[in-house]
Amino acid sequence: MSEHGPEKGIKRWLFTTNHKDIGTLYLWFSFIMLLVGGAMAMVIRAELMYPGMQVVNPNFFNMMTTMHGLIMVFGAIMPATVGMANWLIPMMIGAPDMAMPRMNNWSFWILPFAATMLVLPMFMGGDFLAGQGPAFGWTFYEPLSGQYDNLAFFIFAVHLLGISSIMGSINIIATILNLRAPGMTLMKMPMFVWTWLITAFLLIAVMPVLAGAVTMMLTDKYFGTSFFDAAGGGDPVLFQHVFWFFGHPEVYIMILPAFGIVSQIIPTFARKKLFGYSSMVYATAAIAFLSFIVWAHHMYTVGMPVAGELYFMYATVMIAVPTAVKVFNWTATMWRGAMTFETPMLWAVAFVFLFTIGGFTGLMLGVAPSDFQYHDTYFVVAHFHYVLVTGALFALIGGVYYWLPKWTGNMYDEKLGKLHFWLSVISVNVLFFPQHFVGLAGMQRRVPDYAVQFADWNFWSSIGGFVFGLSQLLFMYIVIKTIKGGEKASDKVWDNPEGLEWTVPSPAPYHTFETAPEIK
């Protein structure tokens, strides 16, 4: 019956209202973006492998760092987490689909157009290698970004991304609040669902503020306003405030779903219940709340009244408390568990270790007087790559391995999965750990050349980068191989996993839970 199976051909993907199809679209889109953004990172590392200028010109280099950051944040990590939400939330709460399936389709299908708007200007100046695309950093500070010719493309790309995120989040909130199976009380929801509920709230709260920021950029550049221009009574620093009011919650938007994924994986392979479930929920909510009141820790060196510096410093380091609650809970879950280390668990354990390193460097940066030393150096770059790559991305990859058998009905190749893990975890540390050293020694970020004293560590960092980049092609191979075939997965897949998604067949049928399951 056509009503129960997917449509045929391309129409299935263009017009679909099915959460699993849409989840798949999101995940593939984000993977393609990961490869595009990754290719740009390879250019950056190639240039930085040796001191001096050898591969690209400085403007092109700046364009690469800018586009790399934007594509990874808005194209890779965020859509990947939404893809996970689409696939998993309805299955986890016992719902047949998302609350608003047509809008769900729209949230996705805006993305390819937004990405087009974002990358198009790179090719519009005529001479690609001259680097005529956005080259003002992923934080697009005014007044630098205001100098750029094709700014409107960038601005509208951000608008489109915002529309997509807001609709996606509204859908997720409505689904979680309204479509839970009878008996699935809020405090029985899987952690992944909780983290996404809170993430969706953050998105709805801050994406409009970002839209406001770029709208002011638009009118400043094209319609004569003076929001960010001191000559007209405005202030470029205002831009930074508005941007970071979005920007800091944004980093939690990327990490909270990752927290959720890790909180699903670890109990399964430790064969214990998640330790301190309710404290996890409260910690997540606390992190979300604090994320709204700490934004100016990105602006310590910009010039703020001392009272401001102190306030933002104390508020920032307070985030360490709920974050530590989570880390301790994961550790306590593993404590005396009957642990095994299948691929998803390896990624999750690596996440706990490496994310924590990023958390510690965050603390160092959060202390205003020390941030005066670290700001705009590679130390910051190391910090946010530990939280985003070995944090958010590692959790997402682990999540793909964990649920792939449920999605496809086939087991992935465990040997290759482990190989992928070990290649990645070693190379990523070779890539990012030395950046702490050169950063502390004073190497600035966003500069294509550097003093020869930094040469050794940069060389190793580049080697690590190339290996890490190539390893992800292995990931693609493993995923495609699993989709095509492999050992059949059982319905439970793992030993004794918790959650409704493991009660349905593998692969999960096109429509799950057309009648609500009973939750005990």
Partner 1 sequence: MTHAQGGYYLPSPSHWPLVGSIGLFLTTFGFALNPNDPTFLMYIGLAIIAYMMFGWFGTVIRESEGGLYNDQVDRSYRWGMMWFIFSEVMFFAAFFGALFYARQLALPWLNGEGNNAMTNEILYNGFQAVWPTDANGPANVGGDYKIIEAWGIPALNTLILLSSGVTVTWAHWGLKKGNRGQLILGLLATVILGFTFVGFQAYEYIHAYTEMNLTLGSGIYGSTFFMLTGFHGLHVTIGAIMLTVMLLRSMKGHFTADNHFAFEAAAWYWHFVDVVWLGLFIFVYWL
Number of residues that bind ligand HEM (CB under 6 A): 25
Phi, psi of 16 (to 5 degrees): -60, 145
The item of Cu ion, partner 1, ligand HEM, none sharing an interface with residue 254, based on CB under 5 to 8 Å by kind, is ligand HEM
Quote the CA–CA distance of 98 and 26 in Å, as a whole number.
15
Residue 272 tokens read as 């214990």
Query: Does residue 445 have an active-site annotation?
Result: yes
What SS3 class is residue 452? helix
Tokens at 66, concatenated: 């800018």
**Cα–Cα dist 49/460, whole Å:** 8
Site string for ligand HEM, 285-324 (x = CB under 6 A): ------------xx-----------------x--xx--x-
The answer to whether residue 436 is catalytic is: no
Which is closer to ligand HEM, CB of 91 or CB of 438?
438
Distance CA 317, CA 311 (A): 10
Q: Is 282 helix (H, G, I), strand (E, B) or coil?
A: helix
From the list 20, 180, 221, 248, the catalytic residue is 248
State in angstroms the smallest separation of the CB of 338 from partner 1.
Answer: 38
Residues 380-419 that bind ligand HEM (CB under 6 A): 380, 383-384, 387-388, 391-392
Binds 271, which of Cu ion, ligand HEM, partner 1, none (CB < 5 to 8 A, cut-off by type)?
none
Tell me how far apart the alpha carbons of residues 426 and 419 are, in angstroms, rounded to a whole number: 11
HEC states along 45-91? HHHHCCCCCCCCCHHHHHHHHHHHHHHHHHHHHHHHHHHHHHHHHHH
Give min distance, CB of 491 to ligand HEM, in A.
Answer: 34
Tokens representing residue 336 in the block = 């005396």
Closest CA to 505 of 404, 407, 401: 407
Q: Is 19 a catalytic residue?
A: no
**Residue 371 binds which of ligand HEM, partner 1, Cu ion, none (CB < 5-8 A, kind-dependent):** ligand HEM
Q: At what angle do helices 58-70 and 19-48 cross, to 10 degrees?
A: 150
DSSP state at residue 517:
P
Least spacing, CB of residue 293 vs partner 1, in Å: 14
Q: Residue 466 binds what, of partner 1, ligand HEM, Cu ion, none (CB under 5 to 8 Å, by partner type)? A: none
Residues from 131 through 190 that contact ligand HEM (CB under 6 A): 139
Among 93, 110, 200, 251, binds ligand HEM (CB under 6 A): 251
Q: Smallest distance from the beta carbon of 439 to ligand HEM, in angstroms?
A: 10
The answer to whether residue 323 is catalytic is yes
DSSP secondary structure letter of residue 390: I
- Distance in Å, CB of 254 to ligand HEM, minimum: 5
Is 94 among the residues that bind ligand HEM (CB under 6 A)? Answer: no
Which two three-digit tokens encode residue 44?
């950056």
Output 225 or 373, the one with its CB closest to ligand HEM: 373
How far, in Å, CA of 173 to CA of 26, rounded? 18
Q: Judge whether 241 counts as a catalytic residue.
A: no
Site for Cu ion in 245-264 (CB under 5 A): 248
Q: Which of 439, 323, 315, 305 is nearest to 367 (CA)?
A: 315
For the stretch 44-75, what's the b/e string if a residue is b when 16 or more beta carbons lie within 10 angstroms of its beta carbon? bbbbbbbeeeebbeeebbbbbbbbbbbbbbbb
The answer to whether residue 248 is catalytic is yes
Task: Indicate the residue among 367 and 411 with the shorter CB distance to ligand HEM.
Answer: 367
Does 180 qualify as catalytic in the annotation? no
- Asked whether position 117 contacts ligand HEM by CB under 6 A, the answer is no
Residues annotated as catalytic (active site), given as ranges: 68, 97, 138, 164-165, 248, 250, 252, 263, 297-298, 323, 326, 445
Site residues (CB under 6 A) for ligand HEM?
Answer: 139, 251, 254-255, 297-298, 316, 319-320, 323, 359, 362-363, 365-366, 371, 374-375, 380, 383-384, 387-388, 391-392
